[in-house]
Amino acid sequence: NNLAELLNPQPVNGSRTPPFDGYWRLTECIGCPAEPLHRALGCPSSPIGPETLALFYEGFLHEYDIKKRIRDKGIMIFEYPDGVMASDIPVIGHPDGNYGDEVAEYKSIDGQPTAENFITSHPRYIKQVMGYERILGVSKGRITAKSRSTGWILDDIIIDYDPVIVDPIWRNVHYVHSLLLKVVTSCQ
């Protein structure tokens, strides 16, 4: 047997996500405004290939390393193994943790850019953290990013809650939810 075949992630056949269960993941809501509707109606999505699965798996390993480093410095991280649900819309978020009064999110990255370059090239992360802030009722978040190639941790990326950025996402999910209640059955 070839161990690589046993150890490497296998591609997901069909859709990249399981059938819609009535709840959106926050990350499904922060991109294209039509994505929540497409997800709810079961529109086909492109499958996730083995390379992407391997990158996700590697990201988890880096997240565990970052958390260990933080805990080794005596800082407590509260985690959400089942995620957190918004109180006003059917959205579930999966923040990597919090430090009591701020959201903690961990990212692994290529190379070793500056914190400013990293966040500028990944604006979705700002929306993601702000969505977690809204769900958790806190006004501050922190992204800790680690270079996959060197292990270096970038300077802290502090994200203050801004309703101007998050409110349109919430309004969109409310709107899509109202369409589904009217028994909309097509993305057209």
Angle at 159 between CA 89 and CA 135, to 5 degrees: 20
- End-to-end CA distance of the chain: give it in Å, rounded: 48
> What is the pLDDT confidence band of residue 187, given thresholds at 50, 70 and 90?
low
pLDDT of res. 102 = 96
Greater confidence (183 vs 135) lies with 135
Distances (CA, A) of 137 to 75, 84, 99: 21, 11, 13
pLDDT higher than threshold 70 for residue 120: yes
pLDDT tier, 129 (very low <50, low <70, confident <90, very high otherwise): very high
The Cα 101–Cα 136 span in angstroms is: 9
Kindly tell me if the per-residue pLDDT of 145 is higher than 70: yes
pLDDT of residue 12: 58
pTM of the model: 0.88
| 187 vs 75, residue with greater confidence | 75
Give pLDDT, residue 7.
75
| pLDDT in the model for residue 17 | 64
Alpha helix (H) residue ranges in 18-87: 26-29, 35-41, 50-72
DSSP states of 142-158:
EEEEEETTT-PBPPPEE
Q: Around Cβ 59, how many Cβ atoms within 10 Å?
A: 16
More confident residue, 18 or 166: 166
Confidence of residue 11 (pLDDT cuts 50, 70, 90): low
